Amino acid sequence: MDDDELVGAGHMAEDIFVRQMKRLRVAQGLSQAELADRVGELGGSLYQQTIAKIESGQRALRLQEADLIAKALRSSVSEMLAAAIDKAEADPEANPETMDIENLLTRVKAVQRRRDGLAANLHDARRAETEARFALEAAEARAAAAMAEATRAQAHHDEAQAELNYLTRISINRQAEFNRVYGPQWRQKLSNNPPITVEELTRHFEKEPSDPSEDDG
């Protein structure tokens, strides 16, 4: 059972107890003041005005008070709740269209309290939903930006790899010139760290052409 259900069950139990409390008080011929006196004899401190407010739904019932009231009515909280639930379907007062006005007012106030509690929970849930949606949208935006950056980085990497492959093919095709400039071990220079750069290749290829007789040799 979640928090909302617990709150709803608590209000329903209070409503049932209060209606059963009034029914037993009237059945035993007790006035509200006399019931307050019985509660006082048990060590409680309820007044007639307090009992009137509890029965009319103007004041919430506390658990300790419910225990004292039940004992004052020669019953217990569990017995009063169980009896009320067992008789709910057969009891005409359980039907809002036929229950007396005072019980109807008690029922209305109990449902109002339940509604108000659920409204607060609903407000908190809506706020959490909004915050979570904004957080999700921000996370999605960051993910989209990261994906775009990764796509750009991949494109730049592929472009550099394609240029390297092209230059490597050109270098191999011009191996005679590399042999003349770097010697027969020029291939190793391609795998050294750092590798031969485009600038280095350009710088060497822009040198004055060698004497053709040196190539013949």
Cα dihedral 36→53→77→121 (10° resolution) = -150
Regarding whether 151 and 117 lie in a shared domain, the answer is no
Task: Say what the pLDDT of residue 4 is.
Answer: 47
Count of domains for the chain: 2
Q: Are residues 51 and 105 both part of a single domain? A: yes
pLDDT digit string (tens) for the chain, length 217 residues: 444 444 445 567 788 888 888 888 999 999 999 999 999 999 988 899 999 999 888 888 888 889 999 999 999 888 888 765 555 444 545 677 776 776 677 677 767 777 777 787 788 888 888 888 888 888 888 888 888 888 888 888 888 888 888 887 887 788 777 777 777 776 666 565 555 566 666 666 665 455 444 444 4
Tell me what pLDDT residue 191 has. Answer: 60
Domain identity same for 114 and 165 = no
pLDDT computed for residue 189 by the predictor: 62
Domain that holds residue 81: 3-121
Interior angle at CA 96, CA 90 and CA 100, nearest 5: 90
Q: Are residues 164 and 69 in the same domain?
A: no
Q: Is residue 17 part of a domain?
A: yes
How far apart are the C-alpha atoms of 57 and 21, rounded to whole Å? 12
Residues 10 and 86 in one domain: yes
Q: What is the pLDDT of residue 172?
A: 75
DSSP letter at 192?
A: S
> DSSP alpha helices (H): ranges in the chain?
3-27, 32-41, 48-56, 63-72, 77-87, 101-173, 175-182, 186-191, 198-205, 212-216
Burial code (b: 16+ CB inside 10 Å, e: under 16) for 78-92 equals eebbeebeeeeeeee
In a domain, 139, yes or no: no
The pLDDT, as a whole number, for residue 186 is 65
Question: How high is the pLDDT of residue 214?
Answer: 46
> Residue 40's pLDDT is what?
92
Contact at 8 Å (CB) between 87 and 135?
no
| pTM: predicted TM-score of the whole model, two decimal places | 0.40
User: Do the domain assignments include residue 42?
Assistant: yes
Question: Can you give the pLDDT at residue 35?
Answer: 94
